[in-house]
Amino acid sequence: MAGAVFEHEIRVTWGDCDPARIAYTGRLPMFALDAINAWWEHHLGDGWYQMEIDRNVGTPFVHMALDFRSPVTPRHRLICRVWPTRLGETSIGFRVEASQGGKPSFSGDFVCVFIVADQFRKSPPPKDIRALVEAHLRPVAAE
């Protein structure tokens, strides 16, 4: 198991918020996706854009489930802890735990499948990606 869990910081703004003065629910899955993309970018050097175009590897989502604990606002940066929780033959699970000011905001579990991007066909990931993910696998409960 690797060391510290990767953290991705998001600047929540006015434009993310709805008339209830909290981030719109529809923005929260997007924040989680940004955090997963940042995980790839940090660990692999490439985010989804480069994976698709330079490596011909896609990772479309087949499932997501989120629990919302407390409202997200622009008053603190949103800290998203992200890690891979499971690696199957052709699939990968991610956990995202988001907090503001030390208080849990929301958490989510995500499942993606690896595909050959230009064929949109399910396929095991390249070896370097498999090795990278294996080195960072953790169960859902990170601590």
Q: C-alpha dihedral over 35, 95, 105, 48, to 10 degrees?
A: 20
Tokens of 69: 């604990």
Least spacing, CB of residue 108 vs its own copies, in Å = 9
Q: What does each C-alpha distance from 46 to 26, 70, 125 come to in angstroms?
A: 26, 32, 14
Complex with its own copies: residue 69 or 134, whichever CB lies closer: 69
Q: Which of 5, 6, 7, 25 binds its own copies (CB under 8 A)?
A: 25
Q: Between helices 48-55 and 27-44, what is the axis angle to 10°?
A: 50
Phi, psi angle pair for 72, to nearest 5°:
-100, 135
Q: How many residues does the chain have?
A: 143
Q: Which of 20, 127, 141, 143 binds its own copies (CB under 8 A)?
A: 20
Tokens of 85: 């929780």
Q: Which stretch binds its own copies (CB under 8 A): 22-30, 80-88, 89-97, 123-131?
A: 22-30
Q: Which of 5, 17, 44, 87 binds its own copies (CB under 8 A)?
A: 17
Tokens of 132: 């990278």
Least spacing, CB of residue 64 vs its own copies, in Å = 5
Q: Which of 7, 68, 76, 86 binds its own copies (CB under 8 A)?
A: 68
**List of residues contacting its own copies (CB under 8 A):** 11, 13-15, 17-22, 24-26, 29-30, 33-34, 37-38, 47-50, 52-53, 58, 60-68, 71, 73-75, 117, 120
